[in-house]
Amino acid sequence: MAPAAARTRIAASADVSAEATLGNGTSIWHLAQVRESAVLGENCIVGRGAYIGTGVQMGDNCKVQNYALVYEPAVLGNGVFIGPAVVLTNDTYPRAITPDGSLKSADDWEPVGVVIDEGASIGARATCVAPVRIGEWATVAAGAVVVKDVLPFALVAGVPARRIGWVGKAGVPLTESEPGVWLCPSTGTRYIETEGVLALEEQ
Interval 11-37: pLDDT, tens: 999 999 999 999 999 999 999 999 999
Q: Tell whether 196 and 122 lie within a shared domain.
A: no
Question: What mean pLDDT, rounded, does the chain reach?
Answer: 95
Quick one: average pLDDT of 43-61?
Answer: 98
Q: Tell whether 129 and 185 lie within a shared domain.
A: no
Tell whether the model's pLDDT for residue 95 goes beyond 70. yes
Query: Does residue 103 belong to any structural domain of this protein?
Result: no
pLDDT level of residue 3 (50, 70, 90 thresholds): low
Written as one string, the DSSP assignment of 154-168 is: EEEETTTTEEEEEB-
Interval 130-188: pLDDT, tens: 999 999 999 999 999 999 999 999 999 999 999 999 999 999 999 999 999 999 999 99
Supply the pTM of this predicted model. 0.94
How far apart (Å, rounded) are the C-alpha atoms in residues 154 and 139?
6
Domain of 153 in residue numbering reads as 9-96+110-162
pLDDT at 107: 85
Q: Tell whether 193 and 149 lie within a shared domain.
A: no
Give the torsion through C-alpha atoms of 35, 44, 69, 77, to 10 deg.
Answer: -100
CB 153 within 8 A of CB 138: yes
pLDDT at 106: 84
Interval 62-75: pLDDT, tens: 999 999 999 999 99
Interval 77-91: pLDDT, tens: 999 999 999 999 999
Q: Tell whether 87 and 176 lie within a shared domain.
A: no
Q: Report the number of distinct structural domains present in the chain.
A: 2
Query: Does residue 102 belong to any structural domain of this protein?
Result: no
Interval 170-181: pLDDT, tens: 999 999 999 999
Q: Tell whether 155 and 198 lie within a shared domain.
A: no
| Domain of residue 62, CATH code | 2.160.10.10
Q: Tell whether 134 and 34 lie within a shared domain.
A: yes
How far apart (Å, rounded) are the C-alpha atoms in residues 54 and 36?
5
| Domain of residue 176, CATH code | 2.20.70
